């Protein structure tokens, strides 16, 4: 033998290779890795072991399972701060939009530990909720407990059964008018404070305050109680601010004012949908408050319509003036039919639980908001219960931004868009919910929640007429180290999602 060490070297090399292979449960090679926090945007190779990213390497890695991501972008999994769809269909369509963590923070849920019962046994992606203030109010005022997945609330105690009885003799609005229209008494405020504290103790990810839906009921004392509790606990309030007529900034100024006064942290939901024609002013309010040290952030739902129950408080007011629209701008979600006055008057009284889609925004406002630094992308996906029930096509929100606004229109660059879907939402949450310190990043020791997509083909396909369409270009999705989508196909039987609690 010419070289006596040759055999030994071969054995050592083989062992090294074996060790490396055994170190990773999954490897993603040759992808263009974009990590907004470190600024990395280069071809790298990622080693995953269990639930964690353990190596970001300049050299290809080996493992039992290797994904070749040549020509594809490898990004942190998208974190959606605003979804209302903890259903099997909802998480399926969100996964195909690159979402690895879907959170209900605007409405929240009460009691928070009962959120997502339809998916909790085997979640596909990570999920979680804020404390649902509106749900608490319905419980306190009307004795009804909402249950996740089924729209029918459960009566609790005498108050609940009285409300249930009212449903037989009156409409939805009347039966729940105590919750939606009446102020809270001092005793009720004390009870609501206790419920809020309890759900925060139970791990709610902040406070969900769908204020506009109970605008007539919640007045100063109640707002102060909510902000005081949130500030005391350092919990962010996620708020759908009160609407005035088109463009009135009073609603956003109100919550930023309380945030400043109480040193509370506040997140303004879907800014374009509240600003309407006055977007520049709303964006400036957020910018200036941030510059003055207020902890305020905001988000964009990249669609030009809204969607709500026809019985929502806003449609009991002068909605034509509020939205600056008329009957034909509103669509009955179940069929896609546009309204006229006669149909509206009929449905408003007789079909209060039906969903409507009201088209009231201009595309140029969405294009403007998506470019504003710091604005987070969300879906606001409404409950997807069954495919024969139409919902707004928000299950394409993330792929829409990447396809239309990044690739086709060049309104923002890829890394900036990815930051708005990953790092920025993680940062919004991480001081209160430490689980997010290890999400939204492709770095060693971070959670292996990863979305791999083709930047040349990614696009949303869901439309108002046909919402149940998966996006194009989502190649692989990894949740907690496991592939749930591989080569654009769902991996059967793999459901590695986890419930996320704040602590
Ligand atoms: Zn909202």
- Average pLDDT for the chain: 92
The strands making up 78-80's β-sheet, listed across from edge to edge, are 78-80, 99-109, 126-132, 207-209, 236-239, 265-268, 295-300, 376-377
Question: How far apart are the CA of 466 and the centre of ligand 1, in A?
Answer: 22
CB-side neighbour CA atoms (13 Å) of 342: 0
Can you say whether the dihedral through the CA atoms of 19, 22, 23, 29 is positive or negative? positive
* Ligand 1 is an ion; residues with CB less than 5 A from it: 240
Integer Cα distance of 146 and 122 in angstroms: 21
Tokens of 280: 């520049």
pLDDT at 148: 61
Q: Model confidence over 276-310: pLDDT tens digits?
A: 999 999 999 999 999 999 999 999 999 998 888 89
Task: Label the pairing between strands 126-132 and 99-109.
Answer: parallel
Q: Model confidence over 146-178: pLDDT tens digits?
A: 766 555 778 888 888 888 888 777 777 788 888
CB-side neighbour CA atoms (13 Å) of 432: 26
Question: How far apart are the CA of 467 and the centre of ligand 1, in A?
Answer: 19
**What is the architecture, at CATH level 2, of domain 75-304+361-490?**
Alpha-Beta Barrel (3.20)
Question: How far apart are the CA of 64 and the centre of ligand 1, in A?
Answer: 45
Question: How far apart are the CA of 80 and the centre of ligand 1, in A?
Answer: 14
Exposed / middle / buried, residue 410 (Cβ in 10 Å: 0-12, 13-18, 19+): exposed
Is 160 or 221 the better-scoring residue by pLDDT? 221
Question: How far apart are the CA of 380 and the centre of ligand 1, in A?
Answer: 7
Name the segment(s) of the chain with CATH classification 3.20.20.140: 75-304+361-490
* Residue 265 and residue 230 in contact, taking contact as beta carbons nearer than 8 Å: yes
Q: Model confidence over 370-380: pLDDT tens digits?
A: 999 999 999 99
Rounded average pLDDT over 56-70: 97
* Residue 499 and residue 119 in contact, taking contact as beta carbons nearer than 8 Å: no
Residue 18 predicted with pLDDT over 50: no
Question: How far apart are the CA of 26 and the centre of ligand 1, in A?
Answer: 39
Q: What are phi and psi of 86, to 5 degrees?
A: -80, 60
Question: How far apart are the CA of 157 and the centre of ligand 1, in A?
Answer: 30
Question: How far apart are the CA of 482 and the centre of ligand 1, in A?
Answer: 32
Question: How far apart are the CA of 240 and the centre of ligand 1, in A?
Answer: 5
CA dist 466 to 84, 246, 388, 392, 394, Å? Answer: 19, 29, 10, 9, 11
Question: How far apart are the CA of 269 and the centre of ligand 1, in A?
Answer: 6
DSSP 8-state secondary structure symbol assigned to residue 408: I
Question: How far apart are the CA of 270 and the centre of ligand 1, in A?
Answer: 7
Cα–chain center distance at 373: 19
Residue 14 predicted with pLDDT over 80: no
pLDDT at 170: 76
Question: How far apart are the CA of 185 and the centre of ligand 1, in A?
Answer: 26
What does the DSSP assignment read for 203-221?
A: T--SEEE-GGGGTTT--HH
- Reported residue count of the chain is 503
Integer Cα distance of 249 and 77 in angstroms: 34
Question: How far apart are the CA of 260 and the centre of ligand 1, in A?
Answer: 22
Q: Which residues contact 108 (CB under 8 A, 6 or more apart)?
A: 129, 130, 131, 132, 133, 134, 135, 204, 206, 207, 208, 209, 238
CA angle centred on 111, ends 428 and 500, rounded to 5°: 40
Question: How far apart are the CA of 178 and the centre of ligand 1, in A?
Answer: 21
pLDDT at 17: 46
Integer Cα distance of 463 and 501 in angstroms: 33
SS3 of residue 489 by DSSP: strand
The torsion region of residue 480 among left (phi > 0), alpha (psi -120 to 50) and beta comes to left
Residue 207 predicted with pLDDT over 90: yes
Question: How far apart are the CA of 106 and the centre of ligand 1, in A?
Answer: 7
Integer Cα distance of 381 and 240 in angstroms: 15
pLDDT at 145: 86
Task: Label the pairing between strands 52-57 and 40-49.
Answer: antiparallel
């Amino acid at each position: 033998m010419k070289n006596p060490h040759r055999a030994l070297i071969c054995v050592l090399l083989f062992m090294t290779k074996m060790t490396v292979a055994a170190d990773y449960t999954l490897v993603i090679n040759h992808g263009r890795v974009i990590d907004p926090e470190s600024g990395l945007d280069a071809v790298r190779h990622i080693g995953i072991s269990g639930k964690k990213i353990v190596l970001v390497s300049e050299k290809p890695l080996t493992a039992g399972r290797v994904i070749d991501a040549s020509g594809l972008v490898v990004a942190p999994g998208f974190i959606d701060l605003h979804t209302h769809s903890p259903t099997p269909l909802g998480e399926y369509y969100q996964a195909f939009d690159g979402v690895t963590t879907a959170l209900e923070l605007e409405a929240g849920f009460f009691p928070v530990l009962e959120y997502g019962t339809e998916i909790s046994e085997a979640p596909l992606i990570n999920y979680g909720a804020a404390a649902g203030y509106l749900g608490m109010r319905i419980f306190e005022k009307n004795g009804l407990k909402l249950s996740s997945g089924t729209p029918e609330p459960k009566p609790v105690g005498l108050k609940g059964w009285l409300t249930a009885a009212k449903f037989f003799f009156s409409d939805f609005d009347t039966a729940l008018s105590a919750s939606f229209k009446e102020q809270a008494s001092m005793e009720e405020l004390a009870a609501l404070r206790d419920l809020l504290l309890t759900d925060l103790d139970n791990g709610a990810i902040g406070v969900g305050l769908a204020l506009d839906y109970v605008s007539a009921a919640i007045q100063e004392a109640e707002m102060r109680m909510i902000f005081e509790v949130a500030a005391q606990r350092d919990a962010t309030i996620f708020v759908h601010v009160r609407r005035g007529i088109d463009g009135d900034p009073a609603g956003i100024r109100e919550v930023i004012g309380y945030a400043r006064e109480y040193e509370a942290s506040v997140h303004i939901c879907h800014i374009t949908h509240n600003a309407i024609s006055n977007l520049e002013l709303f964006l400036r309010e957020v910018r200036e408050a941030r510059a003055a040290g207020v902890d305020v952030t905001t988000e964009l739902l990249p669609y030009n319509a809204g969607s709500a129950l026809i019985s929502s408080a806003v449609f009991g007011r002068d909605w034509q003036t509020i939205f600056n629209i008329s009957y034909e701008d509103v669509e009955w979600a179940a069929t896609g039919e546009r309204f006229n006055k006669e149909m509206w008057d009929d449905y408003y009284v007789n079909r209060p639980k039906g969903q409507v889609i009201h088209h009231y925004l201009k595309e140029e406002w969405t294009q403007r908001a998506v470019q504003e630094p710091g604005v987070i992308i969300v879906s606001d996906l409404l409950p997807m219960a069954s495919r024969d029930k139409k919902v707004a096509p928000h299950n394409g929100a993330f792929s829409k931004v990447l396809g239309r606004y990044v690739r086709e229109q060049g309104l923002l660059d890829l890394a900036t868009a990815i930051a708005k879907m990953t790092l920025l939402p993680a940062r919004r949450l991480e001081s209160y919910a430490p689980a997010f310190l290890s999400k939204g990043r492709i770095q060693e020791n971070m959670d292996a929640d990863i979305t791999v997509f083709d930047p040349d083909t990614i696009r949303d396909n869901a439309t108002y007429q046909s919402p149940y369409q998966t996006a194009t270009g989502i190649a692989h999705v990894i949740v907690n180290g496991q592939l749930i989508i591989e080569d654009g196909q769902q991996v059967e039987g793999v459901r590695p999602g986890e419930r996320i609690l704040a602590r």
